[in-house]
Structures are given as C-alpha cells and as structure tokens.
Structure 1
Amino acid sequence: MSGSRVVALGHHQPERVLTNADLEKMVDTNDEWIRQRTGIATRHIAGESESVADMASGAAAKALASSGLSPAEIGQVIVATCSAIDRSPSIAAQVAARLNIPSAVCFDLNNACAGFCTALATADHTLRAGAAQHALVIGAEKMSDLTDWTDRASCILLGDGAGAAVISTSSSVDVSPVTWGSDPSRGNAVRLVDDWQPRFAQEGQSVFRWATSELPSVAAQACERAGITTRDLAAVVTHQANLRIIEAMTRKLDLRDDVIIARDVVDSGNTSAASVPLALSKMSERGELPSGQPVLIFAFGGGLSWAGQVITAP
C-alpha cells in the first residue's frame, strides 16, 4: 500500500444552542456586534455532565458505523484535544473502550486548533509505515469549560463538539503529504492561561493579521505537495475560527468560483481541534462534498501552529 484514504466521517454536537440573543443577557454585547466581527450566530454548549470523551465517542461511533469496519479492525485511535481534563486513561482509550475496540494503540494529541490535521497526518504516517491498516482520528473539544463568560471579546467565539474520520490504507495517495509547522515566537497570541482554572485568551488582531497575511501561501503549499493547484480544489475546509478570517484567507487562494467553502463557524462557533472534522462531516452529510474530488483541509491556532493536507472526499 502506498497511501491512505478517508473512508468515513461522523460528528456530534451538544443539544443546547447558545444564540447571540442569549449572550446579550450575559455580557455587554449584541447580535450585530458579534456578527460583524466574527460571523457567528449560534454555538453548541455541552452540559455539565457531557464530557470530551462523550462527544468524541458520539462522533467516532458514527464514523465507524459508516465505514463498515468492525471495531477489531481499528489499529489506532487518536484524539486531538486541548480541553480534556483527563490525563489517563486518555480520551482515545476511553473512546476505544466505549466502542469495543480491543487492541488499538490509543493516545491524545494537543496541537490546539491545528490538532485534527496534525492527528490525521500522524495516522497517515502510521498507515504508510504498515503499523496499522485502519485508524480512527477524532477532534473533540469542550471549549465552554475554558471560557471566561464575563469576557465579551472571547465568550462569543467558543463552542463544543466533535468530528471524526476513519482512514484506511490505500493503493493511491488520497491523504496527501502534510504541510505543517509553528511559530513559537508568537506562542502567546492564543493561549490557555491559569494552571488551575485554564481560560481561553487571545490577541485577536494579531491572530487575524497572521492568519490572513501569512497562511494563504502555506495553504497553497499543501496543494503543491498533493500535486495540484488551488484551481483544482472542489472544496476548502479551514479552521472555523472566525468568518472574516475564513473569507479573507480563501480570497487569496485563487479558487474557482464554484468551490465549496466551509462556513460552519456561523452555526457552531470556534470549536478548536473539532472545527475541521465537524465542518467536513456536516458538509458530507448534507451531500455537499463531491465524492472523489480534492478537498483542502487546513487548520491553525495556538502555538502558533498550522497543519493541512489535501484529501480525496469519501
């Protein structure tokens, strides 16, 4: 086998929806102010008893069922998260236990918002090396646990959820080589502060300038590594951080007019490592992903870090 491919997707979001009107009752803000700056209209918020493992398992169960594989065939489980409080067993191990996956290697990975694309690349490398034939890759976050609900600049952004993908070995390269990296000198621009009660904080304008000025060329490099140009893409799914960032980035990518661009941030807010697989799975469920066509997935955030690759839509 020379490569890997995404064979199935799944997602999970909590039932509770927090609207901009709800936030108006909590902090000094309003719907127009939020939409103008972020594009966000709603976000899903987990209940006190709903954990990262619960959401990860829900998304993973859907992806596994859609793949047609048995739990015993999964050789690796990776969960990308920066919000889980459990250290051991890992969230990945908890997912494996709940899904009756008997003997896979399981571990969590924290690369903040870039976590899912980083985890997907890690699983791709595992499969290419022959250490497994099938892997389950999940991005899951409970960002509401890390939210300062008195800070109107940040509490409007964040949501909870999970997305998952099953990838399998393939005779073709349907998960392209990853383009990834970091700029540690800007590490404080997005952070979780306070050791005992972490809270999300960011330098919004710095992140906006960095993402819109420096990352489009990096995203284009991911296409080059796949042997295509941005004009060949059928869809683009970037980290759902802010609608203004998404639109500014994609305008610089020289895309065709008919390219589908994920805008799940409007309905889900910023779900960190969950945002790319969550948006990807919802697009697939709605029939918006053209099967067999190239899709750029690209994520960026705390670190400051980035990771992205071109995949063939399942």
Structure 2
Amino acid sequence: MTTRAVAIGVGHYLPERIVPNSEFEKTLDTTDEWIRTRSGIERRHIAAEGETTSQMAIAAARAALKDAGLTADDIDAVVLATSTPDHTFPSVATMVQAGLGMTRGFAFDVQAVCAGFVFALANANALIISGQARRVLVIGAETFSRIMDWTDRSTCVLFGDGAGALVLEAQEGKGTPDDRGILATDLNSDGRYKDMLYVDGGVSTTQTSGYLRMQGNALFRQAVEKLTETAESALHKAGLEDSDVDWIVPHQANIRIIAGTAKKMGIPMDQVVLTVQDHGNTSAASIPLALSVGKDRGQIKQGDLLVTEAIGGGLAWGSVVIRW
C-alpha cells in the first residue's frame, strides 16, 4: 500500500469589488479590447481598504473545511503560498491558524510567487507521505493590488486579489496511477531570470515593499516551453501521458500562455479550466481558485486526472499531477 495525499475539500474567497477593464480606460492609455486580446482578462476582484491577505485566506480556508466536512481541530498543518503577506513576519499561515481557532499542529508560508501554490502542494504532499501530518490545509492567497504601479498599463491591468484553499488527507492507495491523490510533483527554478518578474523593493534594500516590474514578452517566451516541460515531466513520473489528462488547471496569468501550453501538450481547450477572464492573475491564489470554481461548475469530478502547472518570479515553475 502507498500513502497518498488526497483532496477532500476545496474552497475560495474573492473580494466584493469587481473592476472591469473599462475602468482602466479612465486613467490609462488602454482599452477593454487591448487588455482582452492580449491577456484574456475581462475583470478582476480588488481587495477593499483594510482587507488583508490573511483575512481572505481564512475565508477560503473555512470554505474548504466546510466542503471537507471538517473543523480546524482536524487539521495538522497549514501551508500557505503568498508573495503579499500582511507583515514581514509572522507568517500569514500562523495568522490563519489563529483565525481558524487552531491551537495544535504547525503552519508556515511558501514564497514562489505565481508558482507558490504548486510549491505549497509539493511541500504538503511531502509532509503527508512522510507521516509528519495526516491532514494539511494548503492555501494560496494574494493582495497583488497593493504592489501595483497603477500608472504602468503593462502590469496593473493584469492582476487581481483572492484566495483559494485545498484540504489534503492521507489515504491508502495501491501505488498505481489509478489512485486518488497527488501522483507526482515537479519543481524547478532558475535565478538567472530574476529580472523578468520582480518587485523593486524589500526589507534589506529599500525598506519598502516596492512595485511589481515585469518583462512581459521575455517571460511569455519562457512560459510556454517551461510549463509544457514541467507538466510532461510530472506526468512521466506518475507513469501517465498527456492523453490521460482530463483537465489542465493552469496558473491563470494569460490566455495565450494557457492556450499555447495546452496546444503543445495536445490537449483541447475544452479540457482546460479557465478563470483568467473573471479573476485576472491572482498569483499563488489562481490555481486553488480555479480548482474551487471548476468543482463548483461541475467540471472537476472525483476520479478525474488533473495537471496543475505554474510559472512565476524567480523564475520558479512546476507542476502537480493529482487524481481528484
């Protein structure tokens, strides 16, 4: 028998304020058509004044726990992916732990920007298969609106805020690709590409958070190749092929990147869970948001084989193969 980390609950939270592309036409030299044709984004959610990453993460966590039929007392660990924490420290994960009333176990943050949730899933999987935790709450939460330069039309129109959460539980499988749960992970990074996506500030440099800066065209060229390679690498580790995939649940950054990756894998777009049009790029929150929305829509069903893949600043990229 083989221990698998099985998804038993999923949930999400989105701020109330919805900002359509047309709102940017009032302050920037851009149009709804320009944003849609280049990114696929039509609208995004923006956190209210005073609304924080931890608050959104707590709301998503509660939704996932409800979906799983569990309480905070049933959770052994919280692994949270974010690049926009409430404070330099403590971790957002410990703030979620407190907010849920969880007084046992442990909690920590993972920082891999847009690839953060994939890295968090891989860490949670390792905790479960090593026996350090039986149930892990894995969260992606971001308030990227707080690090936007609202005069930079090439970046500020692309991002949004939100949170998603997944509950993983240790269950016994047969050790075959037919098992439910995480079947394989693949993680990568290359710090030589730092300047393609970064924030121009930090504690040890400017003592401020800074603003997001991106070389969009250069990043696009890296993304499709690296995302395809990592997805196929994870499938190979799991003993599976592209044709076995029921759904790609990608990082929701750009419709052209998503479509390019699906095409290279030979998977039709009607097998891709898409939320980028409604949420924009929510960084580490985008994959759990898409998982939750995909389940709510009736797209993702128990037994389906999913591939999640993401690339973000670092550069950091990776994928997870999971049977729902």
TM-score interval w.r.t. the shorter chain?
over 0.9
Deviation at 1:151, TM superposition (A): 0.5
Pairing partner for 1:287 from 298, 303, 308: 298
Q: Does the 8 A contact of 1:236 with 1:259 survive in 2?
A: no
Match of 1:182 among 161, 182, 189: 189
- Cα deviation digits, residues 85-130 of structure 1 (max 9, x gap): 4133321111111111121211111011111010111011001111
Q: Distance in 1 between matches of 2:106 and 2:221?
A: 39
Change (3 A) 1:22 1:10: same
Q: Which residue of 1 aligns with 2:233?
A: 221
Amino acid of the structure 1 residue aligned with 2:167:
V
Q: CA RMSD in A?
A: 1.3
User: What secondary structure is seen at the aligned counterpart in 2 of 1:138?
Assistant: strand
CA distance 1:296–1:58, shift in 2 (3 Å): same
Aligned to 1:270: 281
How far 1:259 sits from its partner (Å)? 5.2
Quote the Cα distance in structure 1 between the aligned partners of 2:77 and 2:221: 37
Aligned residues of 1:116 and 1:138 also touching (Cα < 8 A): yes
2:52·2:86 contact (CA, 8 Å) conserved in 1? Answer: no
Structure 2 distance, partners of 1:197, 1:104, is 31
Displacement after TM superposition at 1:10 (Å): 0.4
Give, in whole Å, the separation in 2 of the partners of 1:258 and 1:111. Answer: 27
Name 1:169's counterpart in structure 2: 170
SS of structure 2 residue aligned to 1:177: strand
- Tell me how far 1:58 sits from its aligned partner: 0.6
- In 1, Cα distance between equivalents of 2:225 and 2:182: 26
Give deviations 1:272-294, integer Å, cap 9, x for gaps. 00011111111111111122111
Give the corresponding residue for 1:310.
Answer: 321
Residue 300 (str. 1) matches residue 306 (str. 2):
no
Aligned-partner Cα distance in 2 for 1:304–1:170: 33
Find runs of 4+ consecutive structure 1 residues off by over 6 angstroms. none
Q: Does 1:200 align with 2:201?
A: no
CA, structure 1 residues 294+269, in 2 after alignment: closer, same or farther (shift >3 Å)? same
Match for residue 205 of structure 2?
Answer: none
Give the 5 Å matches for 1:1-314. Answer: 2-172=3-173, 174-195=181-202, 196-255=208-267, 257=268, 260-313=271-324
Unpaired stretches in structure 2, ≥5 consecutive residues: 174-178, 203-207
| Letter matched to residue 7 of structure 1 | I
- Structure-2-length-normalised TM-score: 0.93
Structure 1 partner of 2:176: none
Q: Which amino acid aligns with 1:6?
A: A
Deviations 1:219-272 (A, max 9, x none): 1111111211110111001111111111111110022x4852022111100000
What is the DSSP-based 3-state SS (H/G/I as helix, E as strand, rest coil) of the residue aligned with 2:188? strand
| Range moving further from structure 2, 23-32 or 134-143 | 23-32
Stretch of structure 1 that moved more, 34-43 or 80-89: 80-89
Displacement of 1:170 after TM fit? Answer: 1.2
Count residues with an aligned counterpart: 312
How far apart in 2 are the matches of 1:222 and 1:147? Answer: 33
One-letter identity of the residue aligned with 2:256: R
> Retained in 2: the 8 A contact 1:44–1:161?
yes
Amino acid at match of 2:100: L
Q: Between 62-71 and 44-53, report the one with greater CA deviation.
A: 62-71
Q: Distance in 2 between matches of 1:147 and 1:287?
A: 34
Distance 2:99 2:217 in 1: 41
> For 1:144, what is the secondary structure of its paired residue?
helix
The SS at the match of 2:116 is helix
**Separation (CA, whole Å) in 1 of partners of 2:226 and 2:289:** 25
